[in-house]
Chains A and B, each alone.
Chain A
Amino acid sequence: METVAFYSYKGGVGRSLLLANAARFLATLGKGVVALDFDFEAPGLHYKLGAPQHSDLASAFNGGAVPYLNATAGGTTAPPPLAAHMLGLPVPPGGDGWLRLMPAGPAPRQEYWAAFKELGERLRLGDPSGRGFMALLDLQARIADELKPDYLLIDARTGVTELGGLATTILADTVVCMFAANQESLDGTLVVVEALKAAPRLANQKPIRVVPALSRTTAKPPDEERFAKGVKRLLDLGEGKKGQGDTGSAPFALPHDDAFGASERVVGGERKASAFSPLYKAYLQLFQTLFPSRAQPALRVLERLEAVADVREGLTSDREHYESEYLLGPWSATAIQEGVLCKADSGKGSRYADLICSGETGPPLMVVEYVEDGAIDEALEFWGKSTEVRCVVLLVRTSYVERQIFTRDIEERKLRRVEHRWDLPRPREFELLRDVGDRSVESMLDAVRHGHIEAVAWLVNEWRDSSGEGGDMHRKMRGRGYWRPERAQRILDGLAATEDHRCAEEILRRARPGGYDLRHRGRHFPDDWDVDEESEQKIAKDLFAPLFWRLPVEAVLKSMEERRYPGDFGSLAGYQLLAQDLMGLSYPGRSALEEARALAARLPVPRDNRDEGEDERVLMWLHRSRRQQSERVRLSEEPPPALIWEEMLREDQYWHGTFEEAKEKVGDKARKMLGSGVGLRRRLKEIAARRELTTQGLLGSYEASDRIELYPQVITAAAEVLGVAPRYLKSVVFIHLSTWAMAYEANDLDGQRGYGFAPSPRTSLFDRESPAHVALVQAFTHRLIGVLRDPNLQAAFEELSKQQPEPYARWEPMRKLSLEKLRMFLLTARASASVLGLPPEDTR
């Protein structure tokens, strides 16, 4: 049995707490431990150790060191049974040692203080007969002989007292001397340690071992030099932490820990990561020196706790590089259980898991286990065959702690190693993915197809990484072989195929140049993840613009509405791709704020607003322009003009009134037809048979009022007639009308709009678009669809043009024309009206 006394010259340094932790730690590691409370003046070790009989101390328990010594102080041939003076304490789960406490007595009851008073008379330590000494030695020897513990830990009285002196000089093999970071405490401790080292020992005792420990190391000593000298002297006399400080040794420092120290929680022996704290870490380091035979286990516990605590912190932390990771969300603390003995689903066998992560309901999803190298197969065997967990994280102890992640598909049994991955699956990933280890593009796209918008951000980031765009870091990656254009194209095609409008909106939001994720990342990594304009422009062109034209129109319109703050408006990248790259025109992407400022500066100040400042006027125009912007493209429930004329002519084939008159006359009938799917399809079939399924006027319309309207009911019915998917037909119509809008609204090199391309006002039956204009718009529509490389759009476009008037089909012969030639035709067509002296730009 080894006896370790815990002593402090001054109180309040956490002496009893350290003893309690050491006791539990040793018991957990399979050692037999007896803790002895010799702090008779202020007993309380039973509080620290949380004795279950704690309440008994206040009622039934009458044992303890003081009553025992009262009975044996004079010596006796029939000493009382030791068991009656001891309390058995539970050992933390998984521990296979034992722990007993001999408290000072039934403190704080009156009986204790009476017994303590009596002991003062009986246990005459100063009596040269040596009976007092013998009584203490007898107790120690009896504990050693009868209980045979490995360790006897004595809580020695603070200060310079007879009992404290004997407990340290005579009974102890090792004395832990705790002191605080102040001169008073250090000087007193130094005197006592010097005395301890010089104290006489019994014949069969080894020289006393002293381990100084600096406690609650928050405050700096007032005179650092003097303090340092004192500490050095202390280390010369005792044992410090090896390999630390200038002298190669430093005292063990037990840091102040508010959460831990204030509650006086005993965590010694705990294998739960949440118990891990700087103080616990310091304890474990101290135990390695204090109990040399337990140094290796202490080191292993420390490594295990550090590794598991690190994982736990990572699981619950929401500080990530990408917003996509943030969206997946960290594990909540309540979703993680620690130190659980898991039973196999079959009921046979069990295994200790350091962490278990579960969803809100259902079985555990992920386990984290710290294993020694060589026990991996055994762990996988158990978790794979005996449970249904979908992810197993093994923290494998080799020369360092390696993190190995194994996952499996929902329906599979076999766990597969996930290579090249360090971060652990997040809770949402278990919903998104069948196999959380499979973060392939296809798997993520599958999640998007199932409506999981969280996967969108991940895919967009993957596109950025794979395409080598997104700042200097990505350019560096490109140079290092991270550039994977085929993968980027697969992501783009997969995203473009999204049917779910909510996901499609999210895609556009994420893919928008200067999108949130990049800003978020830039904020956290300002040096590495800079966002430069050139890259943003490429992202706008290569990612956002294609998605803008390929995703469902409803989502595209929603993205154009989006406004977060003044000056923020939907990206014009889609229009710029069409207008600039294909049509050779300029469509400047001025911000709403710039536009509002330009308008406010150009227009006369209304009389009522003369008192307002410029900012107010800018805001007014901003508000107005935003409203207009959001209404420029819309899905209309109204019957299209061509359908009104169709109905009107059916009623009166000689009708020669205006469109408004016709609308008034047959508007209701046309609306009724829109509501009747069968009737509408029948009518569209007839129109298709005549090849009059016009984009402009029937499926949608672009008016000189700058508004594009799509007629979704008509488009859906037409798609059925044509045998194509409505969403692609809708996109084709949107592209066609947008092309027309660009041909009319975008500027040429002289800054002139294409007034010659103004759409027909359609006020009468005979107002028709110029066949040349239609052919040009179709040609550019076809070119854009070609650039987009979307076979579905291509098919819808071709099917539609077969049922359209002749000019709509002219894109086919025009395919052979060079882009330059097409642009030249376009410029000629646009200029024809302006040379006639049509109004300049600013009066619209």
Chain B
Amino acid sequence: MEADSLNSLVTGAIWRAEQLEAHNIKSAPQAWAEVSSLEEELAKVLPVSGPEGRIARRGAVRAALKAGDYARAEAMAGCYSAEDAAPKSLKTELAKILEEDTRAMARRFRYAARHHSPREARDLARRFRQAGAFGLAA
């Protein structure tokens, strides 16, 4: 698919996701997941060296986080940062986005954040996802 077509699809998807989120509609995360997928597709066709390509990459990670899919966001950020032509500024921005999300989580779970690091919780959650309850499936 061409970049123009994808751009128009992304624009519509973003508008839709923002509207859903603004009206507190349950399917907003799915809408953001859709945005993230479209941005990811766009990133595939746009080189990282160009500003549009960098915007698409940042957008894909942000939308994944908005969709609540931290794992995907983290995976994509890692992938984009590892690209050969990725400028340092993109790496910094992607790290900032993830960091900002962690900070946002700490704000949303302020009691827990006083005692535990959200990052640690994420690590445990990942292991839990792999090994199941009590780690018995590992």
Contact = CB atoms under 8 A, between A and B. Distances in A.
Contact of A126 (B113, B129, B136): B129
A237 to B, nearest CB: 14
B47 interface: no
Given A130-B121, A204-B116, A198 B109 contact: no
Given A127-B68, A138-B111, A204-B115, A165 B124 contact: no
B108 A74 contact: yes
B124 A130 contact: yes
B120 interface: yes
A450 to B, nearest CB: 75
Interface string B123-138: 1111111001111100
B45 interface: no
Given A127-B69, A130-B122, A165-B132, 5 more contacts: A75-B107, A77-B108, A133-B122, A133-B128, A140-B112
Contacts of A144: 115
Interface of B: 68-71, 74, 104-105, 107-118, 120-129, 132-136
Interface stretch (A156-164, A615-623, A830-838): A156-164
B111 to A, nearest CB: 4
A200 interface: yes
B68 A131 contact: yes
A141 B111 contact: yes
8 closest A-B pairs by beta carbon, nearest first, are A75-B108, A165-B133, A129-B70, A130-B122, A130-B121, A128-B71, A138-B112, A137-B112
A84 interface: no
Contacts of A198: 135
B135 A128 contact: no
Contacts of A131: 68, 105, 109
B128 A125 contact: yes
Contact of A128 (B108, B120, B122, B132): B122
B116 A137 contact: yes
Contact of B134 (A127, A128, A139, A168): A168
A202 B120 contact: yes
A203 interface: yes
Contacts of B116: 137, 141, 202-204
Contacts of A196: 134
26 contacts: A72-B109, A74-B68, A75-B105, A77-B110, A125-B128, A126-B128, A126-B129, A127-B71, A128-B122, A129-B68, A129-B71, A129-B105, A129-B122, A130-B124, A131-B105, A133-B121, A134-B109, A137-B109, A137-B116, A141-B112, A144-B115, A162-B132, A164-B133, A165-B135, A168-B134, A169-B134
A375 interface: no
Contact of B133 (A75, A161, A202): A161
A689 interface: no
Q: Which of B112, B114, B118, B134 has the most CB of A within 10 A?
A: B134
B79 to A, nearest CB: 16
B130 to A, nearest CB: 9
Contacts of B115: 137, 141, 144, 204
Q: Which of A138, A144, A200 has the most CB of B within 10 A?
A: A138
Contact of A127 (B70, B111, B120): B70
Contacts of B135: 165, 169, 195, 198-199
A784 B120 CA distance: 106
A129 B107 contact: no
B74 to A, nearest CB: 8
Contacts of A192: 134, 136
B117 A134 contact: no
Contact of B126 (A76, A128, A145, A160): A128
A132 interface: yes
A135 interface: yes
A126 B71 CA distance: 11
Interface string A187-217: 0000110011011101110000000000000
A169 B125 CA distance: 12
Interface residues of A, number: 44
B136 to A, nearest CB: 5
Contact of B124 (A139, A160, A202): A202
A665 interface: no
Contacts of A335: none
Nearest to A163: B133
A473 B47 CA distance: 111
Q: Which of B113, B121, B127 has the most CB of A within 10 A?
A: B121
B51 to A, nearest CB: 29
B116 to A, nearest CB: 5
A648 B51 CA distance: 158
Nearest to B69: A129
A142 interface: yes
Contacts of B112: 134-135, 137-138, 140-141
A251 B129 CA distance: 33
A410 B133 CA distance: 71
Contacts of A819: none
Given A74-B108, A204-B116, A128 B133 contact: no
A779 B124 CA distance: 112
A130 B70 contact: yes
B121 A134 contact: yes
A160 B136 contact: yes
B70 A195 contact: no
B33 to A, nearest CB: 13
Contacts of A203: 116-117, 120
Contacts of B132: 162, 165
A687 B94 CA distance: 141
Contacts of B134: 160, 164-165, 168-169, 192, 195-196, 199
A640 B51 CA distance: 147
B109 A138 contact: yes
A166 B121 CA distance: 12
A79 to B, nearest CB: 8
B73 to A, nearest CB: 9
A102 to B, nearest CB: 14
Interface in A105-159: 124-135, 137-142, 144-145
A75 B113 CA distance: 11
Contacts of B121: 130, 133-134, 137, 202
A145 B109 CA distance: 13
Contacts of B104: 75
Contacts of A141: 111-112, 114-116
Nearest to A201: B124
A134 B124 contact: no
Contacts of B111: 138-139, 141-142, 145
Contact of A200 (B70, B107, B117, B124): B124
B136 A145 contact: no
A134 B120 contact: no
A170 interface: yes
A458 B100 CA distance: 90
B25 to A, nearest CB: 14
A74 B128 CA distance: 18
A199 B110 CA distance: 25
B105 A134 contact: yes
A75 B107 CA distance: 8
A158 to B, nearest CB: 12
A808 B123 CA distance: 121
B105 A128 contact: no
Nearest to A137: B112
Nearest to A72: B109
Contacts of A130: 70, 105, 118, 121-125
Contacts of B70: 127-130
A196 B112 CA distance: 22
A161 B136 CA distance: 11
Nearest to A145: B111
Interface in A786-822: none
Nearest to A165: B133
Given A128-B129, A195-B134, A195-B135, A76 B108 contact: yes
Q: Which of B109, B122, B123, B124 has the most CB of A within 10 A?
A: B109
Contacts of B124: 130, 133, 170, 200, 202
